[in-house]
A and B are shown apart, each in its own frame.
Chain A
Amino acid sequence: MKTIIGWVVSFFRFAGELGVFASRAFRDLFRRPFEIGETVDQIFEAGLRSVPLIALSGFAFGVVLSLQTRSSMEQFGAESMVPQAISFGMFKDIGAVITSLLVAGRVGAGIGAQLAGMRVTEQIDALEALAVDSFKYLVVTRITACVIALPLLTTLLDFSGVMGGMISEMIVPGGMPAELYWRDAFAPMGWSDYVPSILKTVVFGFIIGTVSCYLGYTATQGATGVGRASTRSVVYSSLLVILSDVILVKLIFFWFPE
């Protein structure tokens, strides 16, 4: 009983602290000084270095989607729906979520480990001692990088997925030519299938950046704390991304009813 109460208390404390942390991050996002150089470095780390992973994953996912949907669509004689199934699959929601999970795994873990390491070796204190706002320098820049990188990476993943599906469709027996595939993939899509799902990854980026930074920035307990912050960053940010997607899907449906 005591442990359960303990869990509940620590859960709400975590939620509260994370909320305060997030609101501080959000506020500082718009306050000078803007750490442009460090932000560029972080976009390089979070965004550019993720490009090969994201492009390859998207491509592979498109191929898998094509093969899977083709085998089931064939039973209904609806092979012509395959491009649409792939493009809708990639663009509407899954692409955004997959990108976010991949980024949570690659970047979130990195941020969590790096900041926790800096915390336990007093590098964050050192920054402060050198009259640098460590929160802005470390946290805001990383969150900004995630917020900027995620929509771009999602776009990349979506298109490489459709591309992967196209190449798979061109090779597979009974597949379709690229031109027809391209048309069928995009003809049934509207902006409301495309823009909101990419824009919502801004929220996912904020979540990944904030959660990872929070867990790293507030890490304690030396070397074990570093490992824990890294693992928790992945777990919590992935979980929160998926949970927030539940809400965002509903909200997007509310704003773009179709």
Chain B
Amino acid sequence: MSERGNAQPAVLLDHVSKTFEKRKVLEDVSFQVGSGEAFGLLGRSGAGKSVTLKLIIGLLKPDQGKILVLGQEMQTLARDKLGEVRKKIGFLFQDAALFDSISVYENVAFPLRRHTGKSDAEIKDIVQQRLDDVGLSKEGRKMPSELSGGMRKRAGLARALALEPEVVLVDEPSSGLDHITAGEIYDLLLEMKQKRHVTLIAVTHDVAGARKFADKFAVLNRGRIVECGSFQELEESDDPVVRNLAAGAET
């Protein structure tokens, strides 16, 4: 784990561009997230936020530029090496993406069963721990379809954290949730960051929510990074779009 020094950022995007059928989704995007930092990638829907996350974990490959995660260049890694890096990354999808054919418990146990040699008893302890952490101690036997949106998101977070990742990527933590439920999720993320010292990258359009846990921000507009820095820096930005976004968070 020598890469985990402060000298090297946990995640680095270097002049990354991505095009889908002639539509430029990302153009010359560069930012870096230091180890243990909580990073909020802000922007309206369709600004290319989700694509950025998928590029980081290697589900998509950039047309141009370089992506380094924990010192590994994602787009050039062989399949098994890529898997090794991914084990160190937790990903909470927008709609949680729980496997709907197996129970919540099995969803959380899934990565443990596949990637650790742990016994059933050990796995049971860990899963129970994770479910307790997200407040779903009693929902383990339920199927994902029986859960509410917020519970699903929490279950997804439990699964993302199952392997104790170094980097956690969160796609729209608050989407489709009411304020109270969204607030619970933010609290969980903050708690996670404080307890585990993981590197957290969340993409969201909810600037106010992001302020609760993130200490560094970047704003994406039409595929470009228009501002990068602390929340204060956003408020003082020259770009009216960024200022508006930041101002929206105050209300």
Contacts and interface: CB of A to CB of B under 8 A. Distances in A.
A128 B86 contact: yes
Contacts of B111: 130-131
Interface in A84-129: 114, 117-118, 121-123, 125-129
Contacts of B84: 131
Interface in B72-111: 79, 82-84, 86-87, 89, 91, 93-95, 97-101, 110-111
B97 A123 contact: yes
A125 to B, nearest CB: 5
Given A125-B54, A125-B59, A126-B91, A131 B97 contact: no
B83 A122 contact: no
Pairs of residues from A and B, 10 with the lowest C-beta to C-beta distance, nearest first? A129-B91, A126-B97, A131-B86, A131-B83, A122-B97, A131-B87, A122-B93, A130-B111, A123-B97, A125-B59
Interface of B: 54, 57-59, 79, 82-84, 86-87, 89, 91, 93-95, 97-101, 110-111, 114-115, 159
A127 B114 CA distance: 11
B194 to A, nearest CB: 24
A73 B213 CA distance: 83
A125 B86 CA distance: 12
B89 A129 contact: yes
Interface centre among A118, A123, A133 (most CB of B within 10 A): A123
A129 B99 contact: no
A170 interface: no
Nearest to A31: B79
A132 interface: yes
B195 to A, nearest CB: 22
Contacts of A131: 82-84, 86-87, 111, 114-115
Nearest to A37: B113
Contacts of A122: 93-95, 97
11 contacts: A123-B97, A123-B99, A125-B54, A125-B59, A125-B91, A126-B91, A128-B58, A130-B86, A131-B87, A131-B111, A133-B79
A171 B72 CA distance: 74
A108 to B, nearest CB: 18
A185 B86 CA distance: 59
Nearest to B113: A37
Contacts of A128: 57-59, 86
Contacts of A129: 57, 59, 86, 89, 91, 93
A150 B99 CA distance: 27
Given A129-B93, A131-B87, 8 more contacts: A117-B100, A123-B97, A123-B99, A126-B91, A128-B57, A128-B58, A129-B57, A131-B82
B79 A125 contact: no
Contacts of A114: 101
Contacts of A130: 86, 91, 110-111, 114, 159
Nearest to A125: B59
A145 to B, nearest CB: 15
A125 B89 CA distance: 13
Contacts of B100: 117, 121, 123
B156 to A, nearest CB: 8
A216 to B, nearest CB: 14
A122 to B, nearest CB: 4
A121 B87 contact: no
Nearest to B88: A131
A124 to B, nearest CB: 9
Contacts of B83: 131-133
Contacts of B86: 128-131
A128 B115 CA distance: 13
Contacts of B82: 131
B94 A126 contact: no
A133 B54 CA distance: 16
B208 to A, nearest CB: 26
Contacts of A118: 99
A67 B58 CA distance: 61
Contacts of B91: 125-126, 129-130
B166 to A, nearest CB: 13
B160 to A, nearest CB: 8
Nearest to B169: A129
A62 B93 CA distance: 52
Nearest to A129: B91
Contacts of A132: 83, 114
B59 A121 contact: no
Contact of A125 (B93, B101, B159): B93
B88 to A, nearest CB: 9
Given A126-B91, A129-B91, A121 B97 contact: yes
